[in-house]
Structure 1
Amino acid sequence: MATTKRHRLHLWVAAGCAAVLAATGSAAAWALDRFVIWHVEVTDVSQYEADNSTVQPTTDDPATAELTDTSYTSGGTSITISTVTTGSGDDTLTYYVADVVLADATTLRSAFAHNQFGENITEKTSEIAADHDAVLAINGDYYGFRDTGIVIRNGVIYRDEPARTGIAFYLDGTVKIYDETTTSAAELLADGVWNTLSFGPALVEDGAVVAGIDQVEIDTNFGNHSIQGEQPRTAVGVIDANHLVFVVVDGREAGYSRGATLPELAQIMLDLGATTAYNLDGGGSSTLYFNGEVVNQPSNRGERATSDILYVAG
């Protein structure tokens, strides 16, 4: 019921804004359509995946679960949360690490805001996580901000518009950085891909920092903010098959955490043992959720709604 009310409220607000701003001309109408009004392509993601996925996700027995403020174990899945602070004064940097070992690759799943797929559909990371009984969640790639990229989630194709460097999570537990423009969603699915994310840049490949990451543009469309400089960050790294590390860096608050540059983020991932690492949506979106709580301090003084999450069900 709460989700339905949030959905209706969003539609009422969007409709009201459209009515008020209509008089300002086509530019305002375009901006509303581009950034505010929901464009729903799949109205019930859960049913869509049930109808189209050929893989049944593995679920740990909840009776075996052991949960503390900083750890979780259930069957072959384990999660350890830690906080790291370096520097002092205005140079202080604070970030949060989730070291994750998966019983099976399908234990890591994706979920969309309001259980719908399309552009501009957003919800807080914690709300999406709670709707899916997640014990751990991070914000995803904010696919709903754009209409490009290869989007495969939980073994189902949602979008096939190659545009940039992506990351693919395979059913055998391996994870690879790939060039979307050299393949297709169907080929990836046939090769055993379970999830893809389309943001970037790749931070670490073959155990080394990727050259030129401080010059990469992810989106060039109107409304995109630079991802360079010291910013809040979210990244995923690969230590081994079914062994991942998620990092959320806080930022934009002097004396607590200034944020990290992309080269700094890459070095953090290397220091944590990642041989492959990939940058996800950051800034106000950067959120780490564990055991029913937001662990970090998002830079908007509260969570910014986003379009998708990666999570481990608890």
Structure 2
Amino acid sequence: MTEPTEPTEPTEPTEPTARPRRPRRLVVLVTTLALLLPVGGVTAWAANRFLVEHVEIDDVSAYEAAQTGVASGTTTEDGTAAGADGTVTDDGYTSDDTTISLDTVTEGSGDDTVTYYVAHVALDDATQLRSAFAQDQFGTNITEDTSDIAQDNGAILAVNGDYYGFRDTGIVIRNGVVYRDEGAREGLAFYTDGRVEVYDETATTADELVADGVWNTLSFGPAVVEEGQVVDGIEDVEVDTNVGNHSIQGEQPRTAIGVDADGNLVIVVVDGRDTGYSRGATMTELAQIMIDQGAVTAYNLDGGGSSTLYFDGEVVNRPSNGGERGTSDILYVAG
């Protein structure tokens, strides 16, 4: 859940630390709700809507297996992927069907420094890009750290997703399974044949998308790059109209995913709110970063304190809260 309208104070750079497993409560938005909403019934409604977990599907792994016949990834006791046969290096990962290269880029200096992390991912099979939900549950306000969700699913690489659980709108298709069909905004669709396309959620249905071969969808946005060009008007987009997440503008921590001309994935996480290390990026700057990294299509995901890049058992960026903030979902590639 992005919080650009109320940036936090810069924090001293710290190394990521171990986090308790399976956090059970969403604690953000409490202050916002207390300030903006009157005491009484409206406050109770808002707390129920934005803070209380509402579980619709309790065991997503079993649900997906029943729907598709494909089980989710499994892990060993140390959190690595069961049966992993790839080679990990300081700057990437290689297996028979997956190649990942990682880079850290720092631009500017002083208060104008921007630091971001880039993953270029080549997959033999587009369905190797998978999604996973916090707590292995589908619903609203269910959260867990990106690293914990990643370890639970045997990920070698993972990034925070679209925080679908903050809202009850949007088309949510994950790993070929329909979870929600409430078109509301500009979405991103990943197809089983490797195509990645921006689409209008209100002009189609989840069932139509699955019938056309869609494997995963994301519902946040906006698209920042199309046909290799910066999309006009991205500095003025509002993703949501509910409490706490109206505008996504300004210099913020960012997460984006896209595809290059060869069909390979480009994932970028921009750190921010950390003076002298990384101020964050505007939407236009994010678009240009994606273009510089080869993306011909790129889409903005949840950012702010949620922006997290995980690789080989570790968080490699510096989340702006001084540590990970729980999110509702991730995108990942298994080892």
TM over 0.5: yes
Distance 2:146 2:71 in 1: 24
Q: Tell me if 1:280 matches 2:301.
A: yes
The CA distance in 2 between the partners of 1:97 and 1:6, in whole Å, is 27
Q: Is the 8 A contact 2:250 2:281 kept in 1?
A: yes
Distance in 2, matches of 1:240 and 1:54, equals 32
The farther-off stretch of 59-68 and 248-257 is 59-68
Q: Deviations over 1:16-73 (max 9, x none)?
A: xxxxxxxx52233122201111111111100110111267889999464111232101
CA RMSD of aligned residues (A): 2.4
- Are residue 264 (structure 1) and residue 285 (structure 2) matched? yes
Partner Cα distance (1:271, 1:70) in 2 = 19
- CA offset digits 1:201-253 (Å, max 9, x no partner): 00011111110000000001122152100000000010145410100000001
- Amino acid of the structure 1 residue aligned with 2:61: S
Instruction: Identify which range, 304-313 or 59-68, moves more after superposition.
Output: 59-68
* 2:41 counterpart of 1:33: no
Normalized per residue, the structure richer in helix is 1
Matches of 1:58 and 1:144 in 2, distance apart? Answer: 22
The 8 Å contact of residues 93 and 256 in structure 1, kept in 2 or not, is answered as yes
How do 1:97-112 residues align onto structure 2 when only pairs under 5 Å count? 97-112=118-133
Give the TM-score normalised by the residue count of structure 1: 0.91
Unaligned runs of 5+ in 2: 1-20, 28-38, 75-80
* 8 A contact 1:77–1:101 mirrored in 2: yes
The answer as to whether partners of 1:169 and 1:195 remain within 8 angstroms in 2 is yes
- Per-residue Cα deviation, 1:93-125 (whole angstroms, up to 9, x for no partner): 000001100120111100000000000000000
Of 209-218 and 233-242, the range deviating more from structure 2: 233-242
CA distance in 1, matches of 2:162, 2:73: 24
Partner amino acid for 1:144? G
Whole-Å Cα distance in 1 between the matches of residues 128 and 231 of structure 2?
29
Residue 183 (1) aligns with residue 198 (2): no
**Counterpart code for 2:237:** V
Map of 2:142 onto structure 1: 121
- In structure 2, which of residues 231, 246, 252 is the aligned counterpart of residue 210 of structure 1? 231
Q: Summarize the Cα distance change of 1:63–1:109 in structure 2 as closer, same or farther, 3 Å threshold.
A: closer
Partner residue in 1 for 2:181 = 160
CA 1:58/1:305 → structure 2, altered by over 3 Å: closer, same or farther? closer
Spell out the pairing of 1:226-305 with structure 2 (5 A cutoff).
226-240=247-261, 242-305=263-326
Tell me the percent identity.
Answer: 69
Which structure has more relative contact order (CA 8 Å, sep 6+)? It is 2
Q: Answer yes or no: is the 8 Å Cα contact 1:151–1:198 preserved in 2.
A: yes
